[in-house]
Chain A
């Protein structure tokens, strides 16, 4: 279930997020593997969270048209950085429903750079940490 945002919306909506994300993520590696011109959204269920350095990985099971699931991998910031900004090891847990915004992998594999993960509670998790929903 991939919803592709229109380019103008992507550019505008992401400008602020990218300001917060660019520098930290780039500290370990570049954006070369991600298509930074695209942002996609996907709904799924958290399968696992790797609360590890150098980057957090969020694994999300996404329903497929055939009735099964496909696991996507999303790369986030360092857990050290996030933990100082309200996103802790236990914030995102297996079984939670999430809507993920991400920059897709260029090679077409299921996953990408995590822009944000939104929980049903409204909490928004980004490269800048956690923000409570409005």
Chain B
């Protein structure tokens, strides 16, 4: 055994010995193996499985869909078609104009102003750091929903990320470790999946240049508004950062002929943001 591996083994042993002290409530939930009845019950849930991507210009969009898409692409799936019309329907519930942005408390408005004032030309995603919640749900790439007993998994193509939403009745952790996507539990309210998420990394932003506090919570309501159209109503609350809950709505369209692809941002990322906030590009890498 090398010195290094011995040291590691010692750490593990120490950890095991003190495990009871350090156990976290979120880790105590024991997943039950699904029964045949659990699998059969899946058939009664709304049909969320499949590959979804943000729909475009919901309320005002004509049935033709995208601007400039006169000729069909020579190969591969075209967008629009059957998807475009129901997208408009799904967004019809929201009044015209852009959704209201987050209403910040004075302290957080000042934080936002300070961050914006630093003049960074880009954010850390230029260095391949994925956005956290709620930004990761608004990327222009597909997401695949997978429903299994006790869990909804969202495979996010952007930055090759994944969200784990536990629907097996476990409680939210009372003292969650901070994470980019937080810790999520979900339950079914009729045909609507209601997801509550807590515990967000201070590295992530509530919105552009807008930090959140440890008390941020995000609630999402997922439901189908047409066979291949899903609406997500997202409500962010944060008693320190927001003066009122911030609710927004997004529409996803299902693409039955798509699969989620890999997106390894470090594969050939020539963009960067340096420590001084200057954005650049490497042509000679």
Contacts and interface: CB of A to CB of B under 8 A. Distances in A.
Centre residue among B139, B157, B263, B273 by max chain A CB count within 10 A:
B263
Contacts of A131: 69-71, 73
A100 B123 CA distance: 28
Contacts of B73: 85-87, 129-131
A30 interface: yes
A50 B76 CA distance: 20
Interface in A1-49: 16-17, 19-20, 23-24, 27-30, 32-33
Interface in A86-129: 86-88, 105, 107, 109-111, 123, 128-129
B283 A84 contact: no
Centre residue among B261, B270, B273 by max chain A CB count within 10 A:
B270
B121 interface: yes
A85 B76 contact: yes
A128 B263 CA distance: 18
Given A81-B140, A81-B141, A111-B283, A28 B265 contact: yes
A105 B158 contact: no
Contacts of A73: 270, 283
B43 interface: no
Given A57-B268, A57-B270, A29 B263 contact: no
A54 B140 contact: no
A27 B268 contact: no
B67 A83 contact: no
Given A88-B76, A128-B68, A33 B280 contact: yes
A80 B76 contact: no
A130 B273 CA distance: 30
B281 interface: yes
B74 A27 contact: no
B279 interface: yes
B264 interface: yes
A69 interface: no
Interface string B274-285: 000001110100
Nearest to B135: A27
A87 B158 CA distance: 19
Nearest to B265: A54
Interface size for chain B: under 10, 10 to 19, 20 to 34, or 35 or more residues? 35 or more
B177 interface: no
A75 interface: yes
B126 interface: yes
B267 A52 contact: yes
A104 B154 CA distance: 37
B217 interface: no
Given A50-B268, A53-B268, A132-B71, A32 B122 contact: yes
A120 B280 CA distance: 32
B140 A23 contact: yes
A24 B279 contact: no
A16 B261 CA distance: 27
Contacts of B68: 16-17, 19-20, 128
Given A28-B126, A29-B271, A132-B71, A83 B76 contact: yes
B125 interface: yes
A55 B282 CA distance: 13
B258 interface: yes
A29 B67 contact: no
21 contacts: A28-B125, A28-B271, A30-B126, A30-B279, A33-B271, A33-B281, A53-B267, A53-B268, A54-B269, A55-B270, A73-B270, A75-B271, A78-B141, A86-B73, A86-B76, A105-B281, A107-B280, A109-B281, A130-B73, A130-B74, A131-B69
Interface of A: 16-17, 19-20, 23-24, 27-30, 32-33, 50, 52-55, 57, 73, 75, 78, 80-81, 83-88, 105, 107, 109-111, 123, 128-132
